[in-house]
Amino acid sequence: MFVIFGAAGNVGRVSAAALRRAGREVRAVVRDNRQGEVLAEIGCEIAVADLLDPASVARAIEGAYAVQILCPVPRAHADPGAEMRRMIDASAKALLANPPQRLLALSDYGAEHASGTGITTLFHYLETQLAPVASQLTFLRAAEHMHNWARVLPIALARGVLPTLHHPLSKLFPTVAAEDVGLLAAELLLDDRPAKTSPRVVSIEGDARVSPLDVARTLGELAHRQVTALAVPRDGWAAMLHDAGLGENHTHLIMDLYDAHNAGRIDVETEISERRFGATALAGVFAAILARAAATSTATTTATPTAAAR
């Protein structure tokens, strides 16, 4: 049994589907049964688990040969860092008590740093807490997800300005499609060859690094309009993040992350990492996001007259 936590997410959904195509039994772990409906359609067993509850995690991993673990940043929580650490502690407790043969943890570029990297320090904590688990352990460190830009695409399309915390605008940074991360995770879980080191550290990014200028140009070409990248001044970061609905603690985590990014600290740890490269280009990810947004807009517009008639 292959157990995939976060199976309804952008990465986990791809991993679960790839494992099912390979003929493996998959238990998709989700927060509620509604999230599991699509996964059940492809033959996954569905398990509902609370990552804050070690007993709930223990039930989800019962009988597992391999586990793919994801502890998401709880964006809506007043203290996301503390809450995510509690999730990690609960997951680690269950995995230490009943280690699967293979364990893959989804982590981040820069996770080797114990401090000074904001959100990424939480992935350092994840790796530290899982290191003692008696499994064939892999840390899959991914670059910044291309899909993260979806949060600011509506602003860019409405105003023709793409705000970014990446400085300077010409600086190239690593990024990757969630689909490529999910496919590689499944590939690594299926790799039965003995690992040369434990834990095994694998990194993944796209085949070309991009700058904010590249991101704005790609979006503009797809949307057929002028889009200009705007480096938000450092003293304006907090206000922008607060306006986006982030609390004080989450804001500090994001600001520390991008300070580290801009200082060059969020990158592949070349000395120990096996490097892999995804095949999906930024344009492909943006095209899919824009297509979904257009479909949602069309569905809403079509439904409105019917609703009004009632």
Residue 157 — very low, low, confident or very high, per pLDDT cuts 50/70/90?
Answer: very high
pLDDT at 279 over 90: yes
Residue 296 — very low, low, confident or very high, per pLDDT cuts 50/70/90?
Answer: low
Question: pLDDT tens across 205-261, in order?
Answer: 999 999 999 999 999 999 999 999 999 999 999 999 999 899 999 999 999 999 999
For the domain 2-144+175-206+266-279, what is the CATH code? 3.40.50.720
Residues with Cβ < 8 Å from 32, sequence gap 6 or more?
48
Rounded to two decimals, the pTM is 0.93
Give 24's DSSP letter: -
Least confident of 68-82, 97-111, 205-219: 68-82
Q: What is the share, in percent, of the chain residues with pLDDT greater than 70?
A: 95
Question: pLDDT tens across 131-148, in order?
Answer: 999 999 999 999 999 999
pLDDT at 301 over 50: no
Q: Reduce the DSSP state of residue 242 to 3 states and report it.
A: helix
Place of tokens 């000395």: 271
**Phi, psi of 135, rounded to the nearest 5 degrees:** -125, 165
Neighbours of 129 (CB within 10 A): 19
The Cα–Cα gap between 186 and 191 comes to 9
Q: What average pLDDT does the segment 258-278 reach?
A: 94
State the pLDDT at residue 294: 77
Average model confidence (pLDDT) for the chain?
A: 93
Say if residues 5 and 51 touch (Cβ distance below 8 Å).
Answer: yes
Q: Reduce the DSSP state of residue 293 to 3 states and report it.
A: helix
State the pLDDT at residue 293: 79
Looking at residue 178, its amino acid is A
Q: Which two tokens stand for residue 78?
A: 């007043």
State the pLDDT at residue 196: 76
Q: What is the share, in percent, of the chain residues with pLDDT greater than 90?
A: 87
Element (H, E) at 223: helix 212-223
Q: What average pLDDT does the segment 164-182 reach?
A: 97
Say if residues 289 and 153 touch (Cβ distance below 8 Å).
Answer: yes
Q: Is 271 exposed, middle or buried (0-12, 13-18, 19+ CB in 10 A)?
A: exposed
Give 210's DSSP letter: B
Q: Which two tokens stand for residue 122?
A: 């939480």
Residue 12 — very low, low, confident or very high, per pLDDT cuts 50/70/90?
Answer: very high
Q: Strand 144-145 to strand 161-164: parallel, antiparallel, or no bridges (unpaired)?
A: unpaired
Radius of gyration for the chain, computed over Cα atoms and rounded to the nearest angstrom:
20
The Cα–Cα gap between 52 and 148 comes to 25
Q: Which two tokens stand for residue 91?
A: 């997951």
Give 64's DSSP letter: -
Residue 307 — very low, low, confident or very high, per pLDDT cuts 50/70/90?
Answer: very low
CA-based nearest residue to 165, from 92, 284, 259: 259
The Cα–Cα gap between 213 and 205 comes to 18
Say if residues 27 and 57 touch (Cβ distance below 8 Å).
Answer: no
Place of tokens 């709930």: 56
State the pLDDT at residue 299: 52
CA-based nearest residue to 257, from 110, 87, 148: 110
